[in-house]
């Protein structure tokens, strides 16, 4: 426990005294993220440049000190947890927007800039950065890149990986490399950009990113469709997509989430409805009018009992408010939220919903489903109390079954939150041992001393289940 | 587990889901850029201290003392964590531990006692102090001190603050105030006016004008005898038992008045009064009375807006901007009423201040005790104020008003801009005074 004083001295020499935090209180506030577990780092360092980070990595590699990069600390999978102690590299002060290049529709950013800040700056230039994790006000682009974050826009616009064309990365051995470039098309050599994106901070530390922007869609419209049968809502989703409409967002709320919202803040949602779909289309005003009309018609065809169309921006915001209230509403029930993001092919949504219902009954848990139904990224959320050990054990088992169901239906463990410390035990189930081994070999090639964000993604010997109790 | 640890609201900390939504709104996180200066970080530290993993004095006190208590994080929180409860509990534990360990210097303890026990509970003593200030300002003594540069030897940067003080009221004006003012037109409500401490000494004139404004919109206004300091300073310093004593005295005084509403013109005091039911929730014989009292508390602006329109006579042909009082906005949820009143001023051009809902760094006596952080927050605020190009900067709380006056001096805007209380500006438009 504790770093050698000479190493602390070295870290201060590389940065400065004010950017090296050593006291217990400061370290305690970097010991957690939005997932589970508390792991105390030995030191927190705020780097300001790639050169500083390169020096820190050389030092860490020489002395075999674990290093964990951290952005906004909003991860739901444990990405920024310093499981092995060591150095937390807090990237939040490297937060400059370097440039927006309107001719080439690209933005150059430092990793600590928040997603929302980039979105605002893009908008000022008449452009649009679509990835929209719900934590965008807090989460950093560096964190988004490391976790390959998604969001409601994933359905139409894709996720973070679709908007990055170049990176500057510090390797675990302290080299500064550049991947990709400034062009959308680029097939020179292996696509290391894609390898780094979603690597959860285990292969390198992103110090600069070149991001693709698109023109801002001029119009948008939204509707809410209410269903008596959850299966109908699932079919309606397929129906809409089959008929050539690609909504910007397509979200669902199940009965448990509807009731939680109405209980918390009456919003005029029908308590007896089995599910609600919220749908938004964007694009050219004429196309938007046509598409929203058609989407409403399709919802009715699939037995929606009511379709509410937002007449203007105010009504549009009002419709989305119900969705935004789900999180605060369910947190009133019990304090601990286990937010899962297992994802299935769209056509399997009705089946997945049925499996989730069975799991809820089997384990007698508060399990609500709301999420990005349009891309199969359902968010089964279990509401529990971390002080109730018995309940948490049931949660652990239920979560394992959710993963199993998703993989069996041809889906994946994680659509957008990442593996981190939460899901390594299930990696082999999805990837097979040879597939997982290829990933391990990549990690070994990049980080032979295993100092960069250890204990993430890959299961430790004997790690077979998710552990939520401390 | 020691006695102080038990005071920490451990259960409430479990409600935090650590999503971090509070970080981008927290004024101290913005200027200090580290987790321990954020609500999420502070909650984690309170939890750790309650579990005995860190020490209340050695590790918790620093980050908690750096919190402004503006409570803007409560508005941003999707899990509805009662940060105010966590903060107050932490302050109480820290206060207790400090007393036990005698961790503070004798000068600090003496000053605390002077302020909290001998000064604020006694409106008369504050008025006397205001009279001394008047003498100091009027006799040229202040000028002498400034010229000789004595002020820099004062502790807590008091010299800088003294220079930013407004002109103290003429001491004789304190005498002969009526305890009841009849409505100037058809009676709409009977209201009891909460006079406060600083408001009723240094800002005595603002109180007078507030009462006249109430009368102008048809409120019969009474000034209940026996009322005292709201106790906010005490509660925010962890002196809960003193705060409770003051609360009980106020509840008794206002119950006797039989008024429909209890009106305040200081956002901070108003928030404290409106939360008496939290403060006294563990005292069964008081809980219900506190609940009834709290339900009657209103900010001046909401009553003026509801009972108005005000009888404006004079044009205010200025560019005006408004800085929210945190506790008015985040605790009392009064956001639109002051703005609507400003927009109703004849001739005025009202511009919204970017980040008006963000704390100015005043926060009770935070600006004295945490001077450096407070000034960082203030200087950031003044950049936004400068952008508005306003000539009048309006606030609704004495602490904010003093801080804004200081901010204007620091930003070198004295010749272009003045800071006033909302009631002063409204009164000017009604009377031409």
Residue in chain A nearest B79 by alpha carbon: A328
Query: A242-253 as b/e, with b when 16 or more CB fall inside 10 Å?
Result: eeebebbbbbbb
CB-based contact B62 A25, cutoff 8 Å? yes
CB-CB: which of B19, B41, B80 is closest to A34? B19
Residue-wise pLDDT for A205-215, tens only, equals 999 999 999 99
Pairwise CA distance, residues A275 & B293, whole Å: 43
Is the pLDDT reported for residue B119 higher than 70?
yes
Residue of B nearest to A325 (CA): B78
Bridge-partner residues for A100, per DSSP?
A: A107
Note if the bond before B309 is cis, omega within 30 degrees. yes
Test the A interface: residue of B9, B17, B18, B19 with most A CBs within 10 Å:
B19
Q: What is the pLDDT of residue B1?
A: 59
Using CB atoms, pick whichever of A28, A93, A331 lies closest to residue B48. Answer: A28
In 3-state terms, what secondary structure has residue A448?
coil
Integer Cα distance of B17 and A332 in angstroms: 12
Q: In this complex, is the C-beta atom of B14 within 8 Å of any C-beta atom belonging to chain A?
A: yes
The β-bridge relationship of strands B297-299 and B319-322 is unpaired
> Which residue of chain B comes nearest to A72, CA vs CA?
B20
The highest-confidence range among A260-264, B45-49, B114-118, B185-189, by mean pLDDT, is B45-49
Mark which residues 320-349 of B lie under 8 Å from A by CB.
none
Counting Cα atoms < 13 Å in the Cβ hemisphere of B82 gives 12
Which chain A residues are within 8 Å of B54, Cβ to Cβ? 24-25, 28
| pLDDT-based confidence at residue A143 (cuts at 50, 70, 90) | very high
Number of CB atoms found within 10 A of residue A83's CB? 18
> Has residue B108 got a pLDDT over 90?
no
Cβ-defined contact of B36 to A26 (cutoff 8 Å): yes
* Nearest chain B Cα distance for residue A46, angstroms: 9
User: Where are the extended beta strands (E) located within B293-375?
Assistant: 297-299, 319-322, 349-352
DSSP-derived letter for residue B353 is: P
- Alpha-carbon dihedral angle through residues B255, B260, B262, B264, given to the nearest 10 degrees: -160
Which chain B residues touch A32 with a CB distance below 8 Å?
Answer: 18, 44
**Which 3 state secondary structure label does DSSP give A181?**
coil
Residue A470 is predicted with a pLDDT of 65
Q: Which of A25, A44, A40, A18 is nearest to B62 (CA)?
A: A25
Token couple for B173: 């004006």
Residue burial B354-368, b: 16+ Cβ < 10 Å; e: rest: ebbbbbbbbbbbbbe
Average model confidence (pLDDT) across chain A = 93
At residue A258, the pLDDT reads: 92
Distance of residue A311 Cα from the nearest chain B Cα, in angstroms:
26
Query: CA of A19, closest CA in chain B: separation in Å?
Result: 10
Please, what is the end-to-end C-alpha distance for chain A in angstroms?
Answer: 20
pLDDT digits (tens, 9 = 90+) for B60-78: 999 999 999 999 999 999 8
Residues of chain A neighbouring B10 (CB-CB closer than 8 A): none
Instruction: Say if the Cβ atoms of B19 and A385 lie within 8 Å.
Output: no
Q: How far from B239 is each of B99, B113, B114, B246, CA to CA, in Å?
A: 11, 11, 14, 11
What chain A holds in terms of domains, given with CATH numbers, is 1-216 (3.30.465.10), 217-330 (3.30.70.3450)
What is d(CA A288, CA A247) in angstroms, rounded to the nearest whole number?
Answer: 10
Give the pairing of strands B319-322 and B392-395: parallel
Question: What is the band of B136 on the pLDDT scale with cuts at 50, 70, 90?
Answer: confident
Whether B45 has its CB under 8 Å from any CB of chain A: the answer is yes
Query: Which of A16, A21, A28 best tests the B interface by mutation, with the highest count of B CBs <10 A?
Result: A28
**Rounded-to-integer distance, Cα B207 and Cα B194, Å:** 9
Burial readout A291-328 (b: 16 or more C-beta within 10 A, e: otherwise): bbeebbebbeebebbebbbbeeeeebebbbebbebbbb
| CB nearest B18 (choices: A28, A32, A92) | A32
- How sure is the predictor about B173, in pLDDT bands with cuts at 50, 70 and 90? confident
How distant, in Å, are the alpha carbons of A296, A432, B56, B161, B373 from that of B67?
50, 50, 15, 21, 10
Summarize the confidence of residues A386-403 as an average pLDDT.
93
Judge whether B23 is closer than 8 Å to chain A, CB to CB: yes
User: Of A127-141, A253-267, B379-393, which range is least confident?
Assistant: A253-267
State how far the Cα of A41 lies from the Cα of A26, in Å rounded to an integer: 10
**Cross-chain CB nearest to A29 (options B44, B53, B78):** B44
What does the pLDDT average to over B125-145? 80
Smallest CA-to-CA distance from A234 within A272, A269, A270, A276 is with A276
DSSP at A19: G
Rounded to the nearest angstrom, the minimum Cα separation between B19 and chain A is 5
pLDDT at B141: 73
Mean pLDDT in residue range B18-31:
95
For A378, phi and psi rounded to 5 degrees? -75, 150
Mind listing the pLDDT tens digit for each residue in B29-55? 999 999 999 999 999 999 999 999 999
CA proximity to A373, closest of A354, A348, A355 = A348
Number of Cβ pairs < 8 A linking chain A and chain B: 87
Contact B19 A74 (CB under 8 A): yes
- Residue B154's pLDDT band, with cuts at 50, 70 and 90, is confident
User: Token match 């599910």: residue?
Assistant: A275
Question: What ipTM was assigned to the predicted interfaces of this complex?
Answer: 0.93
Which helix or strand (DSSP H or E) is residue A336 part of? strand A336-339
- Residue of chain A minimizing CA distance to B17: A34
| DSSP 8-state class, residue B200 | T
In which band, very low, low, confident or very high, does the pLDDT at B336 lie, cut at 50, 70 and 90?
very high
Q: What is the pLDDT of residue B222?
A: 93
Q: Cβ atoms within 10 A of the Cβ of A161, count?
A: 17
Tell if the CB–CB gap between B80 and A331 is shorter than 8 Å. yes
**CB of B33 within 8 Å of any CB in chain A?**
yes
Higher local confidence (pLDDT), B159 or A299:
A299
The end-to-end CA distance of chain B, in Å, is 61
Q: Which sequence spans correspond to the domains of chain B?
A: 3-101, 311-431
| B159-168 pLDDT, tens digit each | 788 878 888 8
Extended beta strands in A41-149, E state: 43-45, 67-70, 87-90, 97-101, 106-109, 127-128
Nearest chain B residue (CA) to A40: B53
User: B80 contacts in A (CB within 8 Å)?
Assistant: 328, 331-332
Indicate the CATH number for domain B311-431. Answer: 3.40.50
| pLDDT (0 to 100) of residue A189 | 92
Residue A1 clears pLDDT 60, i.e. is over it: no
- What distance in Å separates the CA atoms of residue B323 and residue B424, rounded to the nearest whole number? 15
- In whole angstroms, what is the distance from residue B230 CA to residue A299 CA? 57
CB-closest option in A138, A332, A387 to B21: A138
> Which residue on chain B is closest to A388 by alpha carbon?
B14
Backbone angles phi, psi at B397, to 5 degrees: -160, 135
Q: What is the share, in percent, of chain B residues with pLDDT greater than 70? A: 99
Q: Is B32 on the interface with A (CB under 8 A)?
A: no
Residue in A closest to B43 by C-alpha: A29
What chain A residue is nearest to B35 in terms of C-alpha separation? A29
The CATH number of B3-101 is 1.10.1060
Pair A385, A331: CB distance under 8 Å: no
Q: Residue B312's pLDDT band (boundaries 50, 70, 90)? A: very high
Beta bridge partners of A378: A371
Instruction: Place B170 in a pLDDT band, splitting at 50, 70 and 90.
Output: confident
- Residue in chain A closest to B13 (alpha carbons) equals A335
Which residues fall within 8 angstroms of residue A33, CB to CB, at 6 or more apart? A70, A73, A74, A75, A76, A78, A79, A80, A81, B18
Which 3 state secondary structure label does DSSP give A109? strand
Cα–Cα distance measured from residue B329 to residue B73, given in angstroms and rounded to the nearest whole number: 12
Q: How confident is the model at residue A127 (pLDDT cuts 50, 70, 90)?
A: very high
A184 or A110, which is more confident?
A: A110
* pLDDT band, residue A156 (cuts 50/70/90): very high
């Amino acid at each position: 426990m504790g770093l050698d004083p000479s190493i602390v001295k070295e870290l201060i020499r590389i940065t400065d005294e004010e950017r090296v935090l050593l006291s217990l209180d400061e370290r305690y506030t970097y010991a957690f993220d939005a997932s589970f577990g508390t792991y105390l780092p030995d030191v927190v360092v705020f780097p300001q440049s790639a050169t500083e980070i390169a020096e820190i990595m050389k030092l860490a590699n020489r002395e075999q000190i674990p290093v964990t990069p951290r952005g906004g600390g909003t991860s739901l999978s444990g990405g920024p947890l310093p499981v092995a102690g060591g150095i937390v590299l807090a990237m939040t002060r490297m937060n400059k927007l370097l440039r927006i290049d309107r001719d080439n529709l690209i933005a150059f950013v430092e990793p600590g800039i928040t997603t929302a800040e980039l979105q605002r700056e893009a908008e000022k230039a008449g452009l649009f950065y679509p990835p929209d994790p719900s934590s965008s006000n807090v989460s950093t682009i560096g964190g988004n890149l490391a976790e390959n974050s998604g969001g409601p826009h994933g359905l139409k616009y894709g996720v973070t990986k679709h908007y990055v064309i170049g990176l500057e990365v510090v390797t675990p051995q302290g080299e500064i490399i550049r991947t990709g470039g400034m062009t959308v098309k680029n097939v020179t050599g292996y696509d290391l950009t894609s390898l780094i994106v979603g690597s959860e901070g285990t292969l390198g530390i992103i110090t600069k990113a070149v991001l693709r922007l698109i023109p801002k869609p001029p119009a948008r419209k939204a509707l809410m469709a209410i269903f008596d049968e959850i299966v109908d809502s699932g079919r309606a989703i397929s129906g809409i997509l089959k008929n050539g409409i690609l909504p910007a967002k397509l979200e669902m709320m199940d009965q448990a989430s509807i009731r939680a919202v109405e209980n918390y803040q009456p919003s005029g949602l029908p308590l007896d409805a089995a599910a609600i779909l919220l749908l938004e289309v964007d694009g050219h005003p004429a196309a938007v009018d046509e598409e929203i009309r058609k989407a409403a018609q399709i919802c009715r065809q699939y037995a929606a009992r009511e379709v509410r169309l937002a007449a203007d921006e105010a009504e549009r915001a009002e419709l989305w408010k119900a969705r935004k209230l789900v999180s605060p509403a369910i947190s009133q029930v019990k304090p601990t939220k286990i937010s899962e993001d297992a994802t299935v092919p769209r056509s399997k949504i009705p089946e997945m919903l049925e499996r989730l219902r069975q799991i809820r009954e089997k384990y007698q848990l508060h399990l609500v489903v709301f999420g990005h139904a349009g891309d199969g990224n359902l968010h089964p959320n279990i509401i529990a109390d971390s002080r109730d050990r018995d309940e948490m054990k049931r949660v652990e088992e239920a979560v394992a079954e959710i993963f199993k169901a998703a993989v069996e239906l041809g889906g994946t463990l994680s659509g957008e939150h990442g593996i981190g410390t939460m899901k390594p035990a299930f990696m082999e189930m999805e990837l097979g041992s040879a597939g997982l081994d290829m990933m391990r070999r990549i990690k070994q090639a990049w980080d032979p001393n295993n100092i960069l964000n250890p204990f993430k993604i890959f299961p430790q010997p004997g790690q077979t289940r998710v552990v939520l109790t401390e | 587990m020691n006695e102080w640890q038990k005071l920490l609201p451990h259960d409430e900390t479990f409600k935090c889901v650590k999503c971090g939504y509070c970080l981008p709104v927290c004024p101290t996180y913005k200027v200090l850029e580290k987790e321990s200066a954020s609500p999420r970080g502070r909650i984690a530290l309170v939890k750790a201290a309650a579990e005995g993993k860190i020490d209340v004095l050695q590790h918790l006190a620093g980050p908690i003392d750096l919190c402004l208590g503006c409570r803007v994080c409560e508005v941003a929180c999707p899990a509805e964590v009662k940060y105010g409860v966590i903060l107050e509990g932490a302050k109480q534990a820290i206060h207790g531990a400090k007393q036990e360990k005698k961790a503070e210097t004798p000068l600090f303890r003496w000053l605390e006692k002077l302020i909290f026990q001998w000064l604020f509970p006694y409106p008369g003593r504050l008025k006397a102090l205001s009279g001394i200030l008047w003498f100091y300002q009027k006799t040229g003594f202040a000028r002498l001190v400034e010229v000789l540069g004595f002020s820099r030897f004062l502790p807590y940067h008091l010299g800088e603050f003294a220079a930013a003080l407004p002109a103290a009221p003429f001491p004789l004006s304190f005498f002969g105030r009526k305890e009841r003012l009849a409505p100037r037109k058809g009676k709409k409500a009977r209201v009891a006016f909460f006079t406060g401490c600083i408001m009723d000494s240094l800002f005595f004139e603002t109180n007078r004008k507030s009462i006249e404004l109430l009368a102008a919109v048809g409120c019969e206004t009474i000034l209940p005898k026996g009322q005292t300091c709201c106790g906010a300073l005490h509660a925010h310093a962890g002196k809960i038992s003193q705060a409770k004593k003051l609360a009980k005295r106020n509840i008794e005084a206002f119950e006797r008045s039989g008024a429909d509403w209890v009106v305040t013109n200081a956002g901070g005091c108003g928030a404290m009064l409106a939360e008496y039911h939290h403060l006294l929730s563990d005292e069964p014989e008081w809980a219900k009375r506190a609940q009834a009292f709290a339900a009657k508390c209103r900010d001046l602006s909401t009553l003026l807006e509801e009972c108005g329109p005000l009888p404006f006579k004079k044009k205010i042909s200025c560019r005006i901007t408004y800085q929210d009082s945190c506790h008015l906005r985040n605790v009392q949820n009064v956001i639109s009423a002051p703005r609507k009143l400003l927009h109703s001023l004849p001739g005025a051009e009202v511009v919204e201040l970017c980040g008006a809902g963000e704390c100015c760094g005043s926060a009770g006596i935070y600006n004295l005790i945490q001077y450096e952080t407070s000034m960082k927050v203030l200087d950031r605020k003044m950049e936004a104020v400068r952008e508005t190009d306003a000539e009048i900067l309006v606030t609704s709380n004495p602490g904010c008003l003093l801080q804004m006056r200081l901010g204007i001096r620091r930003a070198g805007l004295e010749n272009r801009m003045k800071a006033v209380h909302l009631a002063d500006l409204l009164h000017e438009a009604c009377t031409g005074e």
